[in-house]
């Protein structure tokens, strides 16, 4: 048995059964080993941004990590932007990055690079495999690190560790390891949070991670009902279970001024997995921190801790067991959209929110176009909501790809800004190859509209040639229908609400990948 076979067996022992991949020459022994392990399903991405983004989407929905297979430093580099998103979204992932044989590195062959330096900023854990004899342990620890630290763990696999024979006397098939258990929060933190909430001021709970699953939200809702505290979530979260019958939370808006207004009344904020809220970007003469002066801040639980348990403990300390949460009521938020007329981004959001099927998985990289979707879909049928977590655009199509693989019985609705979608459009091909049940709704405004807005924020209201050339995508316009079809995904272009209504209903009624280009 060689190291590559042992690596596969070590992944399978932890029930890592999905490998998103784009291999190269230095990984050929690993590919050959994967080929001997049909239980480990390999899914090709035509660019590593697709690979890592899909692994992110898969893990968010499967609640377990996938592996990725990346080709040396440049292959890893191509996947880093979506690793950044995964790290910021606290998604576990195990990256296997192939490298030259250890003895070859000294020769500085053309593909040699400092993989560790590239990996560290976007990984929670990095290790270079020393040889076939340590592979089982390395994989086990990578798996545990990904789960315990909640983020990407990166293993560098030298080619000679993959092709080298495992020394005799090894233990054969690796054993399943215990999954890391999220540690409970300290009693003192619970007591302190309870004391703040009992104080009766204008308090809020800021949630992210596992605190945004339906059961944890139920608990948070009881706390809110018992104490009058407001429930907030971060602007960006990996996954929210939401919709009619679930406990809604107020998401901190992305625009700084709106965020400041949302949080401006607070006297105390309790962090449940979340970070101290800060502006996404700095702006001249605007604050970095979003909380008002003097607002008390208490961390109930860090992201690695047991967030649902922390909320349970807090509810118990508050005697909130019988409090009745406020639920989102079906049809309560989304206004009946106009049944016809010219399409605009808000109209697309309203229509998708209204037609959203139960148990849909929404992947939202609609950026500025879809900013109203979250509000409009608050009372849509129960669904999961996945979004861009780290601000590195190009996650939407890959995220939907991975989520669809994790949830073969559910419809994935992928809300996609055009500029961001063009970053990793190759992911449509993977959707076609794997025949994934994804409907992609492209907001084709043919611009980096968010940046046009930001230019106005810095006082530039009329654009010269350079700004126009950098912020507009209309010359030439991208033909999303042709683009999708060229990659194997059927598609249609719509320019009216009626046409979108028909196309979206049609996509919901059939299985398989489909794309709707909305001219907005």
Is residue 240 close enough to count as binding a copy of itself by CB under 8 A? no
| Residues from 274 through 303 that contact a copy of itself (CB under 8 A) | 275-276, 278-282, 284, 288-289
d(CA 146, CA 157): 17
Stretch that binds a copy of itself, among 342-350, 359-367, 368-376, 386-394 (CB under 8 A): 386-394
Strand 438-444 versus strand 93-99 pairing type: unpaired
Query: Nearest Cα to 289, choosing from 228, 364, 206, 220?
Result: 206
Question: Which residues pair with residue 232 across a beta bridge?
Answer: 206, 250
Toward a copy of itself, which CB reaches closer, 409 or 476?
476
Is residue 364 close enough to count as binding a copy of itself by CB under 8 A? no
Q: What is the largest CA-CA distance in the chain?
A: 73
CA 226 to chain centre: 32
Among 24, 255, 357, 382, binds a copy of itself (CB under 8 A): 24
The contact mask relative to a copy of itself for 51-80 (x = CB under 8 A, - = no) is ------------------x---xxx-xx-x
Strand 240-242 versus strand 383-387 pairing type: antiparallel
Among 5, 14, 23, 443, binds a copy of itself (CB under 8 A): 23
* Tokens describing residue 435: 């025949």
Task: State in angstroms the smallest separation of the CB of 433 from a copy of itself.
Answer: 6
Is residue 392 close enough to count as binding a copy of itself by CB under 8 A? yes
Query: Nearest Cα to 481, choosing from 490, 473, 468, 472?
Result: 490
Is residue 1 close enough to count as binding a copy of itself by CB under 8 A? no
Is residue 385 close enough to count as binding a copy of itself by CB under 8 A? no
| Residues from 437 through 476 that contact a copy of itself (CB under 8 A) | 450-451, 454-455, 457-460, 463-467, 469-471, 473, 475-476
Toward a copy of itself, which CB reaches closer, 403 or 515?
515
441 in Cβ contact with 352 (< 8 Å)? yes
| Residues from 156 through 195 that contact a copy of itself (CB under 8 A) | 159-160, 163
415 in Cβ contact with 387 (< 8 Å)? no
Toward a copy of itself, which CB reaches closer, 100 or 246?
100
Toward a copy of itself, which CB reaches closer, 100 or 242?
100
Is residue 255 close enough to count as binding a copy of itself by CB under 8 A? no
Toward a copy of itself, which CB reaches closer, 63 or 281?
281
Stretch that binds a copy of itself, among 31-39, 309-317, 327-335, 439-447 (CB under 8 A): 31-39
> E strand or H helix at 299, and its extent?
strand 296-301
Toward a copy of itself, which CB reaches closer, 368 or 414?
368
Among 47, 90, 251, 383, binds a copy of itself (CB under 8 A): 47
d(CA 245, CA 382): 7
Toward a copy of itself, which CB reaches closer, 122 or 311?
122
Is residue 104 close enough to count as binding a copy of itself by CB under 8 A? yes
Q: Which 8-state DSSP code applies to residue 382?
A: S
Query: Nearest Cα to 450, choosing from 349, 359, 345?
Result: 345
CA 447 to chain centre: 24
Among 10, 14, 26, 144, binds a copy of itself (CB under 8 A): 26
Question: Which residues pair with residue 130 across a beta bridge?
Answer: none
Stretch that binds a copy of itself, among 220-228, 241-249, 258-266, 417-425 (CB under 8 A): 417-425
Give the three-state DSSP class for 515.
Answer: strand
d(CA 44, CA 87): 22
Q: What is the 3-state secondary structure (H, E, C) of 93-114?
A: EEEEEEECCHHHHHHCCCCCCC
């Amino acid at each position: 048995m060689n190291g590559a076979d042992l690596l596969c067996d070590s992944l399978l022992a932890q029930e890592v059964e999905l490998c998103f991949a784009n291999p190269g020459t230095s990984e050929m022994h690993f590919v050959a080993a994967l080929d001997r392990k049909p239980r480990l399903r390999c899914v090709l991405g035509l660019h590593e941004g697709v690979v890592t983004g899909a692994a992110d989407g898969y893990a968010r929905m499967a609640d377990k990590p996938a592996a990725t297979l990346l080709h040396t430093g440049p292959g890893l580099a191509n996947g880093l932007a979506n690793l950044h998103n995964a790290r910021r979204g606290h998604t576990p992932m195990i990256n296997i990055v192939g490298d030259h044989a250890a003895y070859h590195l000294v020769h500085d062959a053309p593909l040699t690079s400092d993989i560790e330096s590239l990996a560290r900023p976007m990984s929670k854990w990095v290790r270079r495999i020393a040889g076939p004899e340590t592979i089982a342990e390395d994989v086990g620890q990578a798996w545990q690190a990904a789960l315990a630290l909640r983020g990407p763990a990166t293993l560098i696999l030298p080619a000679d560790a993959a092709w080298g024979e495992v020394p005799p006397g090894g233990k054969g098939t690796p054993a399943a390891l215990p999954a890391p258990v999220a540690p409970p929060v300290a009693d003192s933190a619970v007591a302190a949070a309870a004391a703040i909430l009992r104080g009766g001021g204008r308090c809020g709970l800021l949630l992210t991670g596992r605190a945004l699953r339906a059961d944890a939200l139920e608990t948070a809702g009881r706390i809110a009902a018992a104490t009058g505290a407001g429930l907030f979530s971060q602007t960006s979260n990996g996954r929210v279970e939401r919709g009619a019958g679930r406990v809604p939370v107020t998401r901190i808006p992305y625009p700084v001024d709106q965020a400041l207004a949302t949080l401006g009344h607070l006297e105390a904020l309790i962090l449940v997995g979340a970070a101290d809220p800060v502006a996404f970007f700095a702006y001249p003469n605007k604050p970095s921190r979003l909380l008002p002066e003097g607002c008390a801040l208490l961390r109930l639980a860090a992201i690695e801790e047991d967030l649902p348990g922390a909320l349970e403990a807090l509810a118990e300390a508050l005697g909130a067991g019988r409090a009745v949460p406020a639920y989102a009521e079906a049809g309560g938020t989304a206004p009946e959209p106009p049944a016809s007329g010219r399409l605009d981004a808000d109209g697309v959001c309203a229509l998708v929110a209204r037609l959203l099927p139960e148990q849909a998985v929404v992947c939202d990289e609609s950026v500025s176009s879809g900013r109203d979707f979250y509000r409009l879909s608050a009372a849509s049928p129960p669904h999961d909501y996945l979004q861009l977590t780290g601000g590195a655009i190009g996650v939407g199509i890959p995220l939907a790809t991975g989520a669809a693989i994790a949830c073969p019985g559910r419809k994935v609705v992928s809300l996609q800004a055009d500029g961001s979608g063009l970053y990793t459009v190759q992911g449509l091909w993977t959707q076609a190859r794997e025949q994934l049940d994804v409907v992609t709704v492209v907001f084709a405004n043919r611009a980096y509209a968010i940046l046009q807005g930001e230019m106005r924020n810095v006082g530039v209201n009329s654009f010269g040639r350079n700004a126009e050339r950098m912020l507009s995508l209309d010359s030439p316009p991208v033909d999303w229908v042709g683009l999708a079809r060229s990659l194997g995904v059927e598609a249609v272009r719509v320019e009216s609400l009626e046409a979108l209504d028909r196309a979206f209903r049609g996509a919901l009624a059939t299985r398989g990948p489909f794309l709707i280009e909305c001219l907005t």
